[in-house]
Structure 1
Amino acid sequence: LSHLGQMQSKVSPVVEPSPGSTLESILGDLTQELQDLGITAVPKGDCASCRKPIAGKMITALGKTWHPEHFTCTQCGQEMGSSPFYERGGLAYCQEDYHQLFSPRCAYCAAPILEKVLTAMDKTWHPEHFFCAHCGKVFGNDGFHEKNGKPYCQKDFLAMFSPKCRACERPVMDNYLSALQGVWHPECFVCGDCFSSFTTGSFFELDGRPYCELHFHQRQGSVCHGCGKPITGRCISAMGRRFHPEHFICAFCLSQLQKGTFRDHGDKAYCHPCYGKLFV
């Protein structure tokens, strides 16, 4: 009996972990017990986040090892596990936060551009959002024109912003003439009455329109009633008409008349002798 009592005195009591024991001490005790049983527990590496050994599952990413629960998005803290992630500056981001933080923004809708990006006017755009600011059509091979920071198709740009021809009021795109405080298509800069071009380069202006010499004087009433040509020098006004002095002649004898020394009959002028012979 005394021998049995001695054996009982050598049995060590079981020590329960105190509530204050940390996870590290528990893992340390477990590792020691495994070693006592002849099992060697070798850590797989230290977690890049918490700097503690990894004994179970782990994630390898960014050239480092992590506890699965510690491999999280730098921005939102979401555990990423095996989900796709983006790396920037040695940090990991979930897909949504990466695009919100770093992807280019569309100049039209301001949303991140996730796939194809179009660059124009020193800005980035979703390809489907780069369209004419007036008609809304996506630009084709004709390209676009910029005005006040907005893109326009060629048709709308010309209609809205190009100078208009003074004659036809269509946009002037290529060759043009500048005259009478406006621009003109070369083919539109013609006499306002006979539509003849000004081959000599000279023209006459009346009410903002160009005219050839003849039709300018016709409109001004300064065409000789005798010869039908413009009067540019001295003239005689008689019977409500104008004449070159040498063309104001007697309708019968064709002698040159002077203003105030003629008689008219039937819309014609006569010298006094011929008038007396014919009508007195």
Structure 2
Amino acid sequence: MKMSQRYDCKECNESLYGQKYILREDNPFCIKCYEGLYSNNCETCLKLISCISKDLSYKERHWHSECFLCNKCSRSLVDRPFATKDTMLMCTDCYCHEYSAKCYACLKTIMPGTKKMEHKNNSWHEKCFVCNYCQQPIGTKSFVKKDNNNYCLACYEKQFAQQCVHCKKGITSGGVSYRDQPWHKECFLCTGCKQQLAGQRFTSRDDSAYCLDCFCNMFAKKCACCTTPISGLGGSKYISFEDRQWHNDCFNCKKCSASLVGQGFLTCDDDIFCPDCGKEL
């Protein structure tokens, strides 16, 4: 008589005939061994989640279905949307009440997963983030905040912005004041070279603004020695004699190159000499 083949637990080798068992990767396990090897412990009650219980998992954590509850109100989260804060499970109502931002305009909760707009620690529903004047949604467009209200650029310019003296358009940021009149930075240019003057030294002549280079090249007197402009700006000193001028560093004896600043000197044609060298002429 041929003996029947044994059918034993893969782990403890006990016979499984007449017993409940579980197959895993084609290997049979008795209930006790399977639970000891593969079942998880519940995050809430810390007890084993048996084979006959429903195992609910989220991010490698496990719960009995009866233990899968909101940490605040204890309502079951089975088949319901939920959120997490640190390690806590919460229903969406409790999470919103505790942690979700409130809309700055309507003061209602901004639900998790919905689009919100943020600016300087304040939040809005997308539909509530509108221009205070035209009431059109601002979205991701540029805007200006004034007196705790938001305005699209067009409405802000129409209502509040100063007008640039040059281009006549509104100045929303980065303006320059010159002779008590407002300018855009990009409009406030040197009359000569047309470079921006904002942030650099400049001077004026006949109500027109010039960078220092252009002013010196166009209006400053030229040094009789080196022929470069003498700006006289910023407290720089120069020598003037009759109709000629010199930089301090250029006011030197033609022959011995000694500085004549504060000294007596003699002239011969267009040259200047110290008294000693002048005696040799």
TM-score category of the 2 structures, normalised to the smaller one? 0.3 to 0.5
Of structures 1 and 2, the larger Rg is shown by: 1
Q: Under a length normalisation based on structure 1, what TM-score does the superposition of the two structures give? A: 0.41
Return the structure number with greater helix share: 1
Q: Under a length normalisation based on structure 2, what TM-score does the superposition of the two structures give? A: 0.41
Return the structure number with greater strand share: 2
